[in-house]
Structure 1
Amino acid sequence: MTTIHTLGFPRMGAQRELKFALERHWRGEIDAAELEGVGRALRARHWQLQREAGLDFVSVGDFAYYDHVANHIQLFGCEPVRFGFTGQEASLARYFTLARGVAQESGASGEGRPALEMTKWFDTNYHYLVPEFTSESTFSLADERLFTEVAEAQSHGHPVKAVLLGPLSFLWLGKEKEANFDRLNLLERLLPVYEQVLARLKSMGVEWVQVDEPILGLDLPPSWRQAFEPTYTRLSVVGISLMLATYFSPLQENLSLACRLPVKGLHVDGVRAAREIAAVADWLPSHKVLSVGVVDGRNIWRTDLDEVLRQIKALRNTSTHALWLAPSCSLLHVPFSVQGEAGLDEEIRDWLAFAVEKLHELRVLKQALAGDVAAEGPLAQSRQAIQSRRSSPRVNNPKVTERLAGLSADADRRLSAFPIRQAAQRERFSLPLLPTTTIGSFPQTAEIRAARAAFKRDELSAADYEKAMKKEIAHAVAEQEKLDIDVLVHGEAERNDMVEYFGEQLAGFCFTGNGWVQSYGSRCVKPPIIFGDVSRPTPMTVAWSSYAQSLTQKPMKGMLTGPITILQWSFVRDDQPRSTTAAQIALSIRDEVCDLEKAGIGIIQIDEPAIREGLPLRREAWREYLSWATRAFRLSASGVADDTQIHTHMCYSEFNDILPEIAAMDADVITIETSRSDMELLDAFGKFKYPNEIGPGVYDIHSPRVPSVEEMERLLKKALETIPAGNLWVNPDCGLKTRGWPETNAALQNMVTATKALRTTLA
């Protein structure tokens, strides 16, 4: 018999119930007990769905009220000392303090308590909270949540497979907060707590524990590779069955290591590491379970079940392992269910499978492998949908193909080198030293959301919607004028999401009504689906930016999303190279850039927060990716004159190892997130001698706290140690759409005040 399971399931709920409950709790509208009630109901519902789909286990431990890595910080009792917890606080209150920080109390000194740093979970658009480690860090079994949830599942009669982040991946994903210290040295302190957790789960009757070690798909230093065998030798003594789970990347040089580890089973990503499955089957001892991720947990297309069956049957002919089938990774990265998409184009809808449907694909595979006639109907439906997508005339546009083929060799190059452009731009804009700006968006108020929702429901006419949005734009411009910000933005009131907004206006995209995916905390995004060739039928932003510019004498930035971010934050077609799709998007953005320039917009920001995220996890594949990714950005930006200033923005990424490629993007100004890392990222820019202008973020917009003037001035002085004053801009870390106006104005006022104070010392 084939066993089927999932590595994880979406947390938010079919209607984003958890998101709304979290936000009500943070506003003080419901208490912790009510929030916990929502969590229990969602877990019960999701476990039931897994059992109804025929899964042999329900996964427990994948649920989180903010982030699963933060769950482990509490489980292992390693909340940073800097938060000053006394132990008397409620666990959930401490948890949200880790995630969101605490504003400076009125009349108090210091800077409040900034939240944990946040960064991308491998190469996904999910953000995790970064554990902080010092040589004094200690660990203890300090939280009951995992065991409570196991007991919940058992009370519903479900067989449980518990889910843990492995000890080496947990340490790897953290950050050292002192010099000359290696967090791997903490492993010996951490392992006894893992042993306690496993022993506790065993005592509760849990048979299998899925231990995620995704870092086995990375290029690991020798010391980390060498730590795996003694670690799992020690954990195996507990006597519970361990399923070591890897995903997102091939194992490569770590393949034999993973197969040799003393665990009961090994899960491998059969989508991203399809070529390794046969080698894994050869290396893995025959008494161990082989779990293969045959359903794509990162994308939304139906699985070609006939092809998977062919592969699995071939594997069975050469392998005697007990076989488990699963998605390639947690289903956290896909929407809940296609069943919520009644308004989606029927032809395209039939090509899709979200989390619930992917569970049912596993059931069909299990039935087919067992010779169950119940699989025949679903297999026929799958076959028809796969063929429909392959043959649909809606997928390919010959004009797009011809335009790409006809590009000149220098289509991705500006007319002049940066020093010449910089001189032309300084003459045109006459900005002060340390010019201030924001990243683009301003608060998306209840009024803005209500107007957008009414417009989508046809309860508000196009003319009235435009009037409402222009009112919000005028307000944003007026507030920036009052604050005396130097380069303004229109605030993006008309935009639902920085990718969805553009995708809605580009050919080759389609959109779900309820295809939400968690990005971090309560923040959800609804990624577009790129099903065909991409082009721009008409201008997308010109009218809004032109209106905003008409309201002020100060420069107004045009705001666009870059081709790699649109690619990364969409569900992308898998029938052509991603590089080709990226180039198609780049030409569409290029058309918009040129039209903004013609309309008199002289500063244009093309956001690329996802370019680092798109890096393959294996360094050997970086060069190829960075070549086509940076070319795509340059294609989008290089159709303008020297005195048009191109900005880009990147956030929540480590840039040290790709600075030459970032410089090769040749943006006139780059703005980056640096406040949570206390400007640490700038060290690399300074050592590299980054040639163009740069705006390091001086405050964290993901936290409600308002940093003081002194705090921002300190960060700017630190930035000036690395970046020449003539090349330094001042801005927040990221866009302000999730914040409220009072805190936004207060923070920006402090930012401007700090900047003006510093200018007087530089004059």
Structure 2
Amino acid sequence: MSTSIIGFPRIGEDRELKHATEKYWKHEIDQAELLRIADELKAKNWNKEDAKLDLVSAGDFSFFDNVLDAASLLNITPARYRDLGLNELDEYFAEARGYQKDGKSVKALPMKKWFNTNYHYIVPEIDDKTNIKVVGKRFFEDVKKACEHHEHVKASIVGPYTLLKLARYVGKKQAADFAPAVIAAYQDIFKRLNETHLDWLQLDEPALVFDLTDADKKLFHQLYDGILQAPHNFKVNIQTYFGDVRDIYQDLIDLPFDGIGLDFLEGKQTADLVRKFGFPKDKTLFAGVVNGKNIWRNEYQKTVDLLKSLPVDDNLVITTSCSLLHVPYTVENETDLDKDLKQHLAFAYQKLDELHDLDQIFFHDNQALLAENQALFENVNHPANPAVADRISGLTAADYTRLPERSERENIQKAEFKLPDLPTTTIGSFPQTKDVRKNRSLYKHHKISKAEYDKFNNDKIKRIIEWQEKAGFDVLVHGEYERNDMVEYFGENLDGFAFTKKAWVQSYGSRAVKPPIIWGDVSRKNSITVAASTYAQSLTDKPVKGMLTGPVTIFNWSFPREDISAKDSVTQIALAIQDEVLDLEKHGIKIIQIDEAALREKLPLRQSDWFKEYLDWAIPAFKLVHSKVEPTTQIHTHMCYSEFNDIIPAIDNMDADVISFEASRSDLSIIDKLKANNFETEVGPGVYDIHSPRVPSQAEIYNVINNILAKLPESKVWINPDCGLKTRGEAESFASLENLIAAVNQKRAELG
């Protein structure tokens, strides 16, 4: 065995799983049809892999999320979902999306970013009564089916250490208290897999790339000292990714694993660890050398040189740095891409080809393949703009500093806007209904004129402004009907970006995005949002927020170029967005929201790297965007589902006037952190979850507001949903927002 992958995309080239799942949720197809479509996708993936690789990967498919799959397999399902009396699949979806029917209403489980990616996982919830044991069947059915149709199969599942470290504990017991039950459960998994002709079991343990304490290492040893005692007729690979395992590498090579999977791309110290401490001859190294997160072609000579430098003989499997879940399916679908760019791209199918090529070059000395690849890298022409370089070279400290101080601006802005206590707003987008998508499609395919396209959008803007005024919102938004994805829309209006037709990547559940490709130097071509924002503002006396995407988020949610530093690329984007901010201000937009939904996303996984490798340039980039606005212009920002507690001071240092963030699926512990860190920015903790279709009641939102005000003064608090409403339906959105306003009015009456 010499080639494999960690995992494969599952949404389908044409988002077949997305469409089928959403039809199932709407009761347009039954469960049997959904399962049939899923089986087709799995079989197609396996056949693709089997044609190029030595090992076919089973167990990486999911209807929503692999962490939730593992939790469901092991009976980690809170009682409130069991009490709904649903079948297994619907109970699973209730955990992921919430449930509201026939008088029963249950919130979804929390959702967080998967390490340093834009993928979201569902956080398992464990209470003191949780009885961890194997109860699920789908994982074993998938493995059995793969083994029946393919000769060499590797099954994958979230490992016990990562599962326990990512879980949320709501009782007195903590991770170590559940170790004996988890050991027994994974031993049971081994026993059941012994009934197949499985070659390898891959236990995914990305949590090993974090900073590990002695307690962490003790838990890890306890788990695997027990689990690996279980008899098994397959080999066991412990798979890590997104970083290196410097804190536990020597332990890994001493434990009785048959294989160890290491990331040689994001793992800065991985190669040095292997060279310094060696690698056992009785184990197989799964070397992650093909990038699973970016879409550029692999430079074979560099990869071969790296592999040759490692002290391993034939006990080597060439694999990806992480799951290919994070890249699109195939470049072949992109018929409109510039040929000069397209030749440098490798999506999931092409990465299978790359692994096959590397096998032929490294193990079989195929010089023709190597030469063909080398020729490609002799001619990489990223479009350059000297004016962009000149502008960056002229930046000084003053360009990153906004005056006056925030406390003074706060008083100026309160006098300027005269907003009531607990001012209300939304995050920006309103539902993108079928007619909105149709209008965009007609214009894109030249079936309607620009004037017709704009009139439709203006009618929508007028309608939503009137609805917000009637509902009683204090700060309005124009609804973003002219936009597709928040990053793609801005990229389309900036030089330096390229765009795809079908390069979909899963973000969470049935949600997929098409990340733009940063190919050249970035600058603003023309005004982007001014027309829609000023039209909306002309319809009302209430302030309308200008809505922008921040430079770090545009970068993090794009496929970045690799020939310049992340800092330089983000600075280019920041200057382009600064131009848009000043243009909005010049046209009378006095509140401007610059979303940095993905700020936390690329924070290095090791705390020692947070500032020097990321925050020291990411925070200034945001400040560069808004540093030149007037004191009377109020700057908002927004952040999505993530763990912010550990970088609260850095967020405050962004020097925004207001920040909104997700709080509806959490325990509001972030507010305690804000208070403890003397957080100065005004805050809008999201009071209900827009990623769930359920409608929160007035009483539910009122209770959330009370919990917030128990920790923060009302003078610092805004009330809003936790994210944009683009993916929701109008009926549920309007009902939820009306309940939000009613809850705020109830609280204002109490406050007098």
What TM-score range do you get, normalising by the shorter chain? over 0.9
Alpha-carbon separation, structure 1, partners of 2:86 and 2:743: 35
Give the superposition deviation at 1:686. 1.7
Please, which of 252, 261, 276 is the counterpart of residue 255 of structure 2? 261
| Aligned pair partner of 1:499 in 487, 505, 514 | 487
> Please, which of 654, 659, 664 is the counterpart of residue 648 of structure 2?
659
Deviates more, 1:724-733 or 1:379-388: 379-388
Contact 2:179 2:222 in 1 (8 A): no
In 2, Cα distance between the equivalents of 1:65 and 1:566?
A: 28
User: For residue 199 of structure 1, what is the aligned residue in structure 2?
Assistant: 191
Identity of aligned residues (%): 44
Corresponding residue SS for 1:411 = helix
Structure 2: runs of 5 or more not aligned? none
Question: Which residue is 1:236 aligned to?
Answer: 228
Q: What is the identity, as a one-letter code, of the residue corresponding to 1:165?
A: V
2:88 to 85, 88, 91: 91
Matches of residues 286-325 of structure 1 in structure 2 within 5 Å?
286-315=281-310, 318-320=311-313, 322-325=315-318
* Residue of structure 2 aligned with 1:718, choices 707, 711, 723: 707
Match of residue 509, structure 1, among 474, 480, 497? 497
Does residue 358 (structure 1) correspond to residue 351 (structure 2)? The answer is yes
Which residue of structure 2 lines up, in the alignment, with residue 79 of structure 1? Answer: 77
Which residue number corresponds to residue 735 of structure 2? 746
Q: CA deviation at 1:515?
A: 0.7
SS in 2 for 1:4: coil
Q: Secondary structure of 2:562's partner?
A: coil
For residues 222 and 501 of structure 1, the distance between their equivalents in structure 2, rounded to whole angstroms, comes to: 46
Q: Does 1:708 align with 2:697?
A: yes
- What residue in structure 2 maps to residue 627 of structure 1? 616
Rounded to whole Å, the distance in 2 between the matches of 1:246 and 1:544 is 46
Partner of 1:219: 211
CA contact (8 A) 1:288 1:321 kept: no
- 1:138 corresponds to: 131
The verdict on how the C-alpha distance between 1:321 and 1:618 changes in structure 2, with shifts beyond 3 A counting, is: farther
Decide whether the 8 Å contact of 1:435 with 1:729 is kept in 2. Answer: yes
1:211-241, Cα deviation, whole Å (9 max, x unpaired): 1111110012211112222322222222331
Q: Deviations along 1:357-401, whole A, 9 cap, x unmatched?
A: 00100000111123364x62x434322322221xx1x43222111
Task: Give the counterpart letter for 1:521 in structure 2.
Answer: G
Q: 2:551 aligned with 1:563, yes or no?
A: yes
Q: Secondary structure at the match of 1:253?
A: coil
CA drift of 1:274 comes to: 5.2
Q: After alignment, is 361-370 or 330-339 more displaced?
A: 361-370
Name the counterpart of 1:344: 337
Instruction: Write the deviation string for residues 403-447 of structure 1: whole angstroms up to 9, x where unpaired.
Output: 111012111111200121111111111111110000000000000
Instruction: Check whether the contact 2:147–2:196 (CA below 8 A) recurs between aligned residues.
Output: no
495-504 vs 153-162, which moves further: 153-162
Q: Does 1:428 align with 2:416?
A: yes
What is the one-letter code of the residue matched to 1:662?
I
Shift of 1:105: 4.0
Question: Residue 63 of structure 1 aligns to which amino acid in structure 2?
Answer: F
Aligned to 1:7, the other structure's residue is in SS state coil
- How far residue 49 of structure 1 moved from its aligned partner, in angstroms, is 0.4
Aligned residue for 2:175? 183
**Which of 379, 382, 385 pairs up with 1:388?**
379
1-structure distance, mates of 2:701, 2:181: 37
Q: CA deviation at 1:91?
A: 1.2
Match of 1:731 in 2: 720
Deviation, 1:278, is 4.5
- Stretches of structure 1 that go unaligned for 5 or more consecutive residues are none
- Write the letter of the residue equivalent to 1:722: K
Report what 2:568 is aligned to. 580
Equivalent residue runs for 1:140-179 within 5 Å: 140-178=133-171
Residue 192 of structure 2 aligns with an amino acid whose one-letter code is R
Cα deviation digits, residues 692-732 of structure 1 (max 9, x gap): 21111111001111111111111101111111111110000
Whether the 8 Å contact between 2:50 and 2:150 is mirrored in structure 1 is no
Give SS of 2:247's match. Answer: helix
**Does structure 1 retain, via aligned residues, the 8 Å contact 2:551–2:570?**
yes
- CA separation in 1, counterparts of 2:217 and 2:135? 28
Which secondary structure does the structure 2 equivalent of 1:252 belong to?
coil
**CA contact 1:24–1:30 (8 Å) conserved in 2:** yes
Aligned counterparts of 1:370 and 1:214: Cα–Cα separation in 2:
28
Which residue in the other structure is 2:65 paired with?
Answer: 67
Evaluate the alpha carbon distance shift between residue 237 and residue 68 of structure 1 in structure 2; reply closer, same or farther with a 3 A threshold: same
Conservation of the 8 A alpha-carbon contact between 1:134 and 1:183: no
Which residue of structure 1 aligns with residue 19 of structure 2? 20
Alpha-carbon distance in structure 1 between the residues aligned to 2:356 and 2:524: 41
In structure 2, give the amino acid aligned to 1:752: I
User: Contact conserved, 1:500 with 1:526, CA < 8 A, in 2?
Assistant: yes
Return the letter of the residue paired with 1:504: E
1:450-461 equivalences under 5 Å are: 450-461=438-449
Q: Which moved more, 1:681-690 or 1:732-741?
A: 681-690
Q: Aligned equivalents of 1:33 and 1:77: distance in 2?
A: 23
Bigger drift between 428-437 and 464-473 goes to 464-473
| Counterpart check, 1:670 vs 2:659 | yes
The separation in 2 between residues aligned to 1:543 and 1:508, in whole angstroms, is 23
Q: Does structure 2 conserve the Cα–Cα contact (< 8 Å) formed by 1:675 and 1:733?
A: yes
- CA distance in 2: counterparts of 1:246 and 1:321, whole angstroms: 21
Instruction: Write the distance in 1 (CA, Å) between the matches of 2:207 and 2:559.
Output: 24
1:274 to 1:408, Cα distance in 2 relative to 1, 3 A: closer
Asked if 1 retains the 8 angstrom alpha-carbon contact of 2:212 and 2:247, the reply is no
Question: 4+ residue runs of structure 1 moved beyond 6 angstroms?
Answer: none
Q: Match for residue 270 of structure 2? A: 276
Structure 2 residue identity aligned to 1:226: K
1:445 maps to: 433
- C-alpha separation between the residues in 2 aligned to 1:212 and 1:462? 50
Question: TM-score normalised to the size of structure 2?
Answer: 0.97
Q: Distance in 1 between matches of 2:461 and 2:148?
A: 53
Q: 1:334 corresponds to which letter in structure 2?
A: V
Q: Kindly indicate whether the alpha-carbon contact (under 8 Å) linking 1:593 and 1:639 is maintained by their aligned counterparts in 2.
A: no
* Cα pair 2:290 2:355 within 8 Å, conserved: yes
Counterpart secondary structure, 2:378: helix
Whole-angstrom CA distance in 2 between matches of 1:750 and 1:686: 28
Aligned to 1:154, the other structure's residue is in SS state: helix
Q: Deviations over 1:109-147 (max 9, x none)?
A: xxx100111000001000000000122221121111011
Contact 2:644 2:670 in 1 (8 A): yes
Q: Deviations over 1:181-204 (max 9, x none)?
A: 422321111111111111111221
Is 1:247 the counterpart of 2:241? The answer is yes
CA separation in 2, counterparts of 1:295 and 1:166? 22
1:333-356 CA-to-partner distances (Å, cap 9, x unmatched) read 000000110111111011100000
1:678 and 1:367 mapped to 2: Cα distance?
A: 52
Give distance in 2, aligned partners of 1:415 and 1:235: 59
TM-score, length basis structure 1: 0.96
**For residue 326 of structure 1, what is the aligned residue in structure 2?**
319
* 1:73 maps to amino acid: A
State whether residues 297 and 334 of structure 1, in contact with CA within 8 Å, keep that contact through their aligned partners in structure 2: yes
Paired position in structure 2 for 1:119: 112
| Correspondent of 2:460 among 445, 454, 472 | 472
Alpha-carbon offset, residue 250 of structure 1: 1.5
> Higher mean Cα deviation, 326-335 or 623-632?
623-632
| 2:475 maps to 1:487 | yes
Which residue of the partner structure matches residue 45 of structure 1? Answer: 44
